[in-house]
Every structure is written in structure tokens, then in C-alpha cells.
Amino acid sequence: MRTDLHATLTTIQGPTPCTRDLARTLEDSGVPLLVVGDAKGPTTYPLAGAELLDLEAQGRSGFALAARLPTNHYARKNLGYLELMHRGARTIFETDDDNRPAPSWSPRTLDVAARAVRAQPWVNVYALYTDTYIWPRGHPLDALRDATPVWQGEATTRRAPIQQSLVDGAADVDAVWRLVFGGDLTFRRGESAWLPAGSYCPFNSQSTWWWPEALPLMYLPATCSFRATDIWRGFIAQRCLWAFGSEYGLVFHPPEMIQERNEHDLLRDLRDEQELYLEGARMARRLDALPLLPGAGEAPANLRACYAAFIEEEIFDTVEADLLEAWLQDCEVVRGGSNDRQPNPPTEHRESTK
């Protein structure tokens, strides 16, 4: 069993066909799977190779964040990240319970061959891998016309502490695309894409790799909707990543997972995604204007600056600042190798404030 690479997902149901396939694939590679539950369940998770971190175990974890996060929210996944950091994970692979590995899935490395994409404010990475008119969930609608990607140069080895792969089947698109077009999709295979500093593309939590330098950037905000949390996280993470140095950028891979989507209410998704459609481009400009500090070691200070901007713009509630501080406190403890964690009182079951 590997100790450096761990995988995690969050769910409110028992094992699905997708998670059974995932657990078998991970077990073949010696990778343990941590499943993060919530108030709605599950209470057990009978699946070889998987371990359940249920709500009771989260409350006993000693993480400062555990008692502060709302229940019934995707942001409970933060506690899975922290637990894996505490266990010594140097690489975290995250996905969802309706995604199964494609035959091409295998553990990734920090240094990866990728080809640069021309720098521009917005890049629709999906257009590199299909001729179908489609865009990733979270792409601002008013930025779609100017987001056509263009390859530049040849592939070179990049140090990429955040990597995202596309997903075949029910690709991760927004409710607008599903309502207007709909259907499943198979992307082309090909080279991986590296986005230089200043070039945003939404990335999600369905098939995402994180390495030590970027682990503090994994924090999922809790005072926004389920449909927005990983996208806002992604914009903030990209902005902080660029502050590490000019050689850092997000890498996208051709598909390595296949989504067999859980049932969704598309009109509810549409409502929950509205802030992304309407505010994404403006918030990217706000992030760009922040005078962040250079270097990976400044990630905590830079996260505080980014979250302060989102709170000031009323995208996040003011309580988000306290949640972020709890996250950073927990990160400092677990990444410092300390076991000085105090059990939390029972977690209060409450809904998100937004």
C-alpha cells in the first residue's frame, strides 16, 4: 500500500458502480480511498479498499474546521483533505462518486510533459479536445467568445502541483449547456495543456491532482452553493499558483475518468450556478488586481487576501474568513507533523448560510 498518494471523494450514499470500479483501480495501484460522509449519510461503506470518514469521525478528528463547517454541503470534503495530509499524503487525487476511471487512468507525477496554450484572460480548454461547442462548468458566459485556445510551441516538462483531467461521458458542463444542448461526449486524446499565468480556465473537483506546494489551496468555500464551491476554489487556486513563480501554471490532461452522472434538477443547478455566469469574469479581474506575495510559502497570506476580496464583493459570507482561518490553522498542524489535535464537540447540523 502506498503512503504518499491517497484518493478521496465525498458522498451521501453507499457504494455506487462508479466507486466500486474506482476502488478496484486504486487498489491495483496500492492507493487507499477515503470517503467523506455528511449528515445524510452514509453510516457504513462496505467497499474493499475504501475507508469511511463519517460525520461522527469528523467531529472526533480534532480539526478546528470540523465543528465550524456546515453540514449538508460539499465543503465537508475539506476534512478529507486534512485527514489525508495528517496521514502523510504528499499527493491527493480527488473525484466524485459518479466518476469511474477510464482504462487510461494511472497515478500521475508532479513533473509532467505539457504543451503551452497562448496566454489570454480566458481559455476554454475543452475546445482543445473536441469540435463540439461546449465549455466547462464555471466559464463566464460573457467570456466565451474570446476564449478559443491556441497551442504554442512544443511540449516540455512542467512542474505542475495542480493537474486536472477532463471527464468523458457526462462532461462537467453547466446547466445552460445541458438545457440547450445536452448529451454525453467523448473527448479526443492528445497532449496535455499548460496554462500560463494570467490565463483562467475553470477546473473542478472531479478528477484533480494536488501536490505538497498546492495542498493549502485545496480549501473549498462553504458559504456558496454546491455548484459553485469547487469553481470559486479553482479561480483562487490559479491566482495563488501564479504567485509561486512564472514557471507555474495549471495543467489539463485528456480524459482519465468517465462520469455517469447522478440525477440532477437542472433548473436548481441553473439557480445555483448563476453567480458563476454573472460574476466570474468580474471576480477574476478582482483577483488579478490583488498584490499577492511571491512564493509558495506565502500561500496562507495570499489565500486570506483572495477570500477577503470575495467577502467584500459579497460572493462569500463574512463567516468564510473564520472558516478559512480554521483551515489554515489545521494545515499548519498537520503539515508540521504535529498530533496536537483536540477532539471537537458534536458537529452542529446546520445548512450553509448561502
CATH number at residue 50: 3.90.550
How many Å apart are CA 177 and CA 174, to the nearest integer?
Answer: 6
- Is 341 among the domain residues? no
Burial environment of residue 336 by CB neighbours within 10 A (0 to 12, 13 to 18, 19 or more): exposed
- Is 152 among the domain residues? yes
Q: How many domains does the chain have?
A: 1
Alpha-carbon distances of 297 from 82, 160, 211, 302, 308, rounded to whole Å: 18, 16, 14, 10, 19
The residue among 262, 140, 247 whose CA lies nearest residue 202 is: 140
Query: Per-residue pLDDT for 342 more than 60?
Result: no
The residue among 127, 130, 136 whose CA lies nearest residue 174 is: 136
How many Å apart are CA 49 and CA 143, to the nearest integer?
Answer: 42
Terminal CA-to-CA distance of the chain, rounded, Å? 40
How many Å apart are CA 92 and CA 85, to the nearest integer?
Answer: 9
Q: For residue 229, give its domain range.
A: 5-335
Average pLDDT of the chain to the nearest whole number: 93
In contact, 288 and 296? CB cutoff 8 Å: no
Query: Per-residue pLDDT for 352 more than 70?
Result: no
Query: Per-residue pLDDT for 19 more than 50?
Result: yes
The residue among 215, 257, 204, 277 whose CA lies nearest residue 240 is: 215
pLDDT band, residue 335 (cuts 50/70/90): confident
pLDDT, tens digit (0-9, with 9 covering 90-100), for 67-77: 999 999 999 99
What's the pLDDT at 171?
94
- Is 340 among the domain residues? no
Full-prediction pTM beyond 0.85?
Answer: yes
Q: What values do phi and psi take at 8, rounded to 5?
A: -150, 155
pLDDT, tens digit (0-9, with 9 covering 90-100), for 122-162: 999 999 999 999 999 999 999 999 999 999 999 999 999 99
What's the pLDDT at 341?
55
The residue among 231, 191, 190 whose CA lies nearest residue 208 is: 231
- Is 354 among the domain residues? no
Q: Give the mean model confidence (pLDDT) for residues 265-291.
A: 96
Task: Name, in order, each residue with C-beta under 8 angstroms of 271's C-beta and a sequence gap of 6 or more.
Answer: none
What's the pLDDT at 349?
32
- Is 318 among the domain residues? yes
| The C-alpha cell that represents 306 in the structure block | 483572495
- Residue 144 sits at the vertex; the CA angle it makes with 141 and 148, to the nearest 5 degrees, is 165
- Is 92 among the domain residues? yes
- Is 33 among the domain residues? yes
- Is 343 among the domain residues? no
What's the pLDDT at 263?
83
Query: Per-residue pLDDT for 301 more than 80?
Result: yes
CA atoms within a 13 Å half-sphere pointing along the CA-CB vector of 192: 21
How many Å apart are CA 151 and CA 115, to the nearest integer?
Answer: 7
What's the pLDDT at 346?
36
